[in-house]
Amino acid sequence: MVIQASSRRPRSLSLVLTLAAALVGLLLGPIGVDRSLAQEVLTNDSVISMVKAGLPESVIISKISSSPKKFDTSTDGLIKLKAAKVPDKVIEAMVTGGAPAASTASAADPMIAYMSPAGAKPLKIVHGEMESSAAPFAGSRTEVVLPAPRADYRITDRQPVFSTNLAADQWALIRLKPGKNDRNLPIDRNAGWGWGGGTFRTGPDPKYRVNLEGGPAPGGGVTIKPKEPLAPGEYGLIAIWRGQPNMVEVFDFGVD
């Protein structure tokens, strides 16, 4: 019995070692493959670096098409790309993953920046809430209520110029009504109506709308500015996006 026990131990030990080696191979094998096939993940900074290095647009777009990517294509991200002088076609490729876009306006969310002497200053979106009031024979009124009585971003320029990725006629500049603890974007006020109902129309109140004029931006894109100097106060830009004014997302600023 002792001889038989001693003859089995080497076989058992050999089997255990073989299984252990196979398990280690299974665990280490995929790791080795992943490391060897790992590719650079492109980011906004990667693209900006390639642009600054002077690489041709076609090369950068080809790199975008063939590489893993994790781009920030939010409004702020796109404005920063534009400020870094990334070509429009490259930005389109970042948004579409390398596929050609039908147009800049349809490929990206609205973005707008104030062209200050120090460079482009992106405006941020402030989210408002619709507030309506109505009474029989007295008519109805709807406004978008924006938080805080003043915009965080302030300028002294009375006829500011903005750069944007949309056409000039896709923006509306509104003079905001001051409130006690907020600001209001007025919407059309409807005339009195009876118990039988009435007709309603939604859009910025023309009385508070400021006329804009557009022009070409240096290096491509569009600029817009008010036709007449702005009085001190609170203002908001809204995008007329896919045929409808987006009145609850306001790019606000104040003129001091």
Mean pLDDT (10-residue bins), the chain, 256 residues: 46 54 51 49 91 85 82 84 88 70 53 90 93 70 92 97 92 95 84 53 85 86 94 96 85 97
- Tell me, what's the pLDDT at 161? 96
Contact (Cβ atoms closer than 8 angstroms) between residue 241 and residue 217: no
- Tell me, what's the pLDDT at 171? 95
- Tell me, what's the pLDDT at 54? 86
β-sheet bridge partners, residue 140: 134, 190
β-sheet bridge partners, residue 252: 236
Q: DSSP label at 6?
A: H
Phi, psi of 146 (to 5 degrees): -105, 140
- In 3-state terms, what secondary structure has residue 132? strand
Phi, psi of 126 (to 5 degrees): -110, 130
Element (H, E) at 175: strand 171-175
- For tokens 């709807």, the residue is 142
- Tell me, what's the pLDDT at 98? 57
- Tell me, what's the pLDDT at 25? 54
Of 130, 71, 163, 96, the C-alpha closest to 250 is 130
- Tell me, what's the pLDDT at 149? 95
- Tell me, what's the pLDDT at 199? 54
**Domain range annotation of the chain:** 44-102, 121-255
- Tell me, what's the pLDDT at 95? 80
- In 3-state terms, what secondary structure has residue 12? helix
Could you report how far apart the first and last alpha carbons of the chain are, in Å?
Answer: 102
- pTM, two decimals, is 0.57
Q: DSSP label at 79?
A: H
- Tell me, what's the pLDDT at 8? 45
